[in-house]
Amino acid sequence: MKRLNRLQKALALAVGTVAAAAAVAGQAIAAPPSSDPGTMQPQVVGGTRAAQGEFPFMVRLSMGCGGAMYADNLVLTAAHCVNSTGNNSSITATYGDVDLQGSSRVTRTSNYVYRNPGYSTSTGGDWALIRLSSPITGAAKLKIATTTEYDSGTFTIAGWGAASEGGAQQRYLLKAQVPFVADSSCKSAYPSLKSAVEICAGYSQGGTDTCQGDSGGPMFRRDNANAWIQVGIVSYGEGCARPNYPGVYSQVSALSSAIAAKATELGGGSTTTPPTTTTQPPNGRVFENANNVNIPDAGAAIYSDVAVSGISGNAPSTLKVDVDIKHTYRGDLVIDLVAPDGSAYRLKSSSTSDSADNVLATYTVNASSEAANGTWRLKVQDTYAQDTGYIDNVKLTF
């Protein structure tokens, strides 16, 4: 098995999505084999063959990546494995058999891909969701970790990638175990490690690792109920199973909220189009706008409109405003909620000291004096030059 190398990752971000485009065309993601010790690559090295049904949630993707079933119609994989967000029918998912040519295998084509747009940022995370054209009813799912409780110990890795650095990808599913590596140790190998959203695993002596063709596959372990739980997504590494170079994985516990929210938008277990209007949660009605709106650098304010209807009387005193903004310096941003009558409620002020990426937050507004129905607007203005971004999503819960 083999992962995306760091150089490829940087090149893909800088000059277009060359590696990802190759993936969509059905080519392997990782760079060609190299004897250069500076070449990073992902596969399962030092593993053994998995038994049929041992890891029933595993998925093989036709672009040369792995994944895990998140819902009957959703596969969780890595952002670097796919080209972009949008309709996509070019990917084939194979599920249900350790043998990719086995009689028990089930295949589905994709119909939509969501690629986390901020995966290259310090808080983004290398993850994506692939929606299938029709659900695999009753598919085994791999639940994701929502806390750091399971982000240590010994993990299981599995995939159809190469069994040795530079080797061929496999017909049969391989498995292995790798121990957790602390961030402080991992940074010796990878000084640019994104500790907030990445987790490392491997042996100091090498010998066991993911490798070429394993990108996007899960790293998992048993939880307190003895059920499998996903703690990582195969992302990148220096070669395959080299001493003192552990594998690097997206840290699922740090990304679980964003993954779950997007999975719900993608239908959760249906094949419906990602909702852009209204959903009905247990404790209130949610209205949202999932259309991206670009934020001009040090420019005029822009708006993301949310149309609200069917609500009796005024808005609640605890109106929830969920904001998802991708931006490379969130301190630049001033954010307001504008009611249908034009009244503005300040959600966030600018701050020159807040250099972190992105705004992923829930604000509570006392809007009880406002009529609920009408067009509510999220108003965003970038007040300083150099950094840019866009509104990804806004939700109002009444």
How many helices (H) and strands (E) in the chain?
4, 25
Q: Which residues contact 32 (CB under 8 A, 6 or more apart)?
A: none
317 catalytically annotated: no
DSSP β-ladder status, 228-236 and 143-144: parallel
221, 239, 265 — which closes off a domain?
A: 265
Residue 354 within a domain:
yes
Residue 324, classed as helix, strand or coil, is strand
Contact 391, 358 (CB under 8 A): no
Outline where DSSP puts E strands in 119-246: 128-132, 143-144, 154-159, 174-181, 198-201, 218-222, 228-236
Contact 359, 378 (CB under 8 A): no
Mean pLDDT is lowest, of 47-61, 81-95, 165-179, 246-260, for 165-179
Alpha helix stretches (DSSP H) within the chain: 6-15, 18-24, 183-189, 252-265
Residues 221 and 294 in one domain: no
Rounded distance between C-alpha atoms, residue 325 and residue 395, angstroms: 12
pTM value?
0.60
Q: What is the mean pLDDT of the chain?
A: 83
Rounded distance between C-alpha atoms, residue 213 and residue 201, angstroms: 18
Rounded distance between C-alpha atoms, residue 120 and residue 389, angstroms: 13
Rounded distance between C-alpha atoms, residue 294 and residue 22, angstroms: 27
Residues 240 and 377 in one domain: no
Residue 273 within a domain:
no
Residues 288 and 245 in one domain: no
Highest-confidence range of 177-181, 205-209, 308-312, by mean pLDDT?
Answer: 177-181
- For residue 2, pLDDT over 70 is answered with no
* Res 113: pLDDT: 96
Q: What is the average per-residue pLDDT within 222-251?
A: 93
Q: What is the CATH number of the domain that holds 361?
A: 2.60.120.260
pLDDT band per the 50, 70, 90 thresholds, residue 3: low
Query: What pLDDT, in 10s, does the model give residues 291-323?
Result: 889 999 999 999 999 998 888 889 998 999 999
Residue 378 within a domain:
yes
Q: Which domain holds residue 380?
A: 278-397
- Residue 144: strand pairing partners: 230
* Res 281: pLDDT: 38
State both tokens at 24: 């969509």
- For residue 208, pLDDT over 90 is answered with no
| DSSP-based helix, strand, coil % in the chain, nearest 5 | 10, 40, 50
Query: What pLDDT, in 10s, does the model give residues 162-175?
Result: 888 777 788 999 99
Rounded distance between C-alpha atoms, residue 90 and residue 63, angstroms: 9
pLDDT band per the 50, 70, 90 thresholds, residue 161: confident
* Res 72: pLDDT: 93
First vs last Cα of the chain: how many Å apart?
Answer: 47
Q: Which of 25, 7, 10, 60 is nearest to 213 (CA)?
A: 60
Looking at the chain, the whole-number percentage of residues with pLDDT higher than 90 is 62
* Res 15: pLDDT: 32
* Res 286: pLDDT: 87
Looking at the chain, the whole-number percentage of residues with pLDDT higher than 70 is 85
Instruction: Supply the Cα-derived Rg of the chain in whole angstroms.
Output: 22
- For residue 31, pLDDT over 70 is answered with no
pLDDT band per the 50, 70, 90 thresholds, residue 118: confident
Number of domains into which the chain is organized: 2
Rounded distance between C-alpha atoms, residue 381 and residue 296, angstroms: 8
Residue 270 within a domain:
no
Residues 304 and 224 in one domain: no
State both tokens at 96: 């249900």
Q: Which of 116, 99, 119 is nearest to 58 (CA)?
A: 99
Catalytic residue among 62, 110, 120, 215: 215
Residue 350 within a domain:
yes
State both tokens at 252: 């699922």
Q: Which of 75, 136, 141, 74 is nearest to 105 (CA)?
A: 136
Burial of 32 (0-12, 13-18, 19+ CB in 10 A): exposed
Query: What pLDDT, in 10s, does the model give residues 72-101?
Result: 999 999 999 999 999 999 999 999 999 999
Q: What is the CATH number of the domain that holds 127?
A: 2.40.10.10
Residue 271 within a domain:
no
Residues 176 and 317 in one domain: no
- For residue 222, pLDDT over 60 is answered with yes
Residues 29 and 107 in one domain: yes
Residues 293 and 345 in one domain: yes
* Res 352: pLDDT: 80
184 catalytically annotated: no
Please compute, for residue 217, the number of CA atoms within 13 A of its CA located in the half-sphere on the CB side: 41
Residues 212 and 289 in one domain: no
80 catalytically annotated: yes
pLDDT band per the 50, 70, 90 thresholds, residue 344: very high
- C-alpha to C-alpha distances, 313 to 90, 296, 321, 342, nearest whole angstrom: 48, 36, 19, 17
Residues 300 and 248 in one domain: no
Residue 188 within a domain:
yes
- 347 or 209, which is more confident? 347
Residues 240 and 291 in one domain: no
Rounded distance between C-alpha atoms, residue 255 and residue 123, angstroms: 9
228, 244, 265 — which closes off a domain?
A: 265
Residues 199 and 147 in one domain: yes
Token pair 């516990």 in the structure block, residue? 253
* Res 213: pLDDT: 87
Catalytic residue among 80, 110, 256, 327: 80
Catalytic residue among 72, 126, 336, 357: 126
- For residue 25, pLDDT over 70 is answered with no
208, 230, 265 — which closes off a domain?
A: 265
- 33 or 363, which is more confident? 363
Residue 74 within a domain:
yes
Query: What pLDDT, in 10s, does the model give residues 271-297?
Result: 233 333 333 333 468 888 988 899 999
Rounded distance between C-alpha atoms, residue 218 and residue 152, angstroms: 15
Contact 128, 79 (CB under 8 A): yes
Residues 233 and 298 in one domain: no
Please compute, for residue 362, the number of CA atoms within 13 A of its CA located in the half-sphere on the CB side: 8
